[in-house]
Amino acid sequence: MKDVKDRIDDLTTINFSITKCPLKVFKAFSEFSKTETNDNYAFGLKMLLDSREVNVKEVVLYEQYLELKDRVAVIEQQLAEPEKVEEKKKPKTMGSGGLKDE
């Protein structure tokens, strides 16, 4: 259960401004907020911050996928190679040379 301070932080809002923001960044953020959050800049910022966390998880999962893919490729290659079975050499005896019937 959330304590009182966390619940208050969830309900508290704050106004802030960004100074010296490049115009291209502002336009890109404004467009993002307009299309994704109906011009709600606070929610747009939250979405961008949340996506950063998701991207980290995706990177980790992708790295795990690549590692597993390599391991599967090695296993498939091993399975595809015919097993090298050594033929057992039979001891040579007088009768094993096989006399041909003429």
- State the residue range of the domain holding 74: 21-80
Question: Which value, to the nearest 10 degrees, does the dihedral of the CA atoms of residues 89, 91, 94, 99 take?
Answer: -20
Confidence of residue 31 (pLDDT cuts 50, 70, 90): very high
pTM: 0.49
In a domain, 93, yes or no: no
Q: Which residue has the tokens 């091993």?
A: 78
In a domain, 98, yes or no: no
Q: What is the pLDDT of residues 48-88, one digit of tens each?
A: 998 888 778 888 888 999 999 999 999 999 998 877 656 66
Structural domain count, the chain: 1
Query: Rounded to whole angstroms, what are the CA distances from 20 to 12, 15, 23, 48?
Result: 26, 17, 9, 20
How high is the pLDDT of residue 41?
94
In a domain, 97, yes or no: no
In a domain, 44, yes or no: yes
Task: From 38, 50, 41, select the one nearest 16 (Cα to Cα).
Answer: 41
In residues, how long is the chain?
Answer: 102
In a domain, 61, yes or no: yes
- Name residue 36's amino acid: E
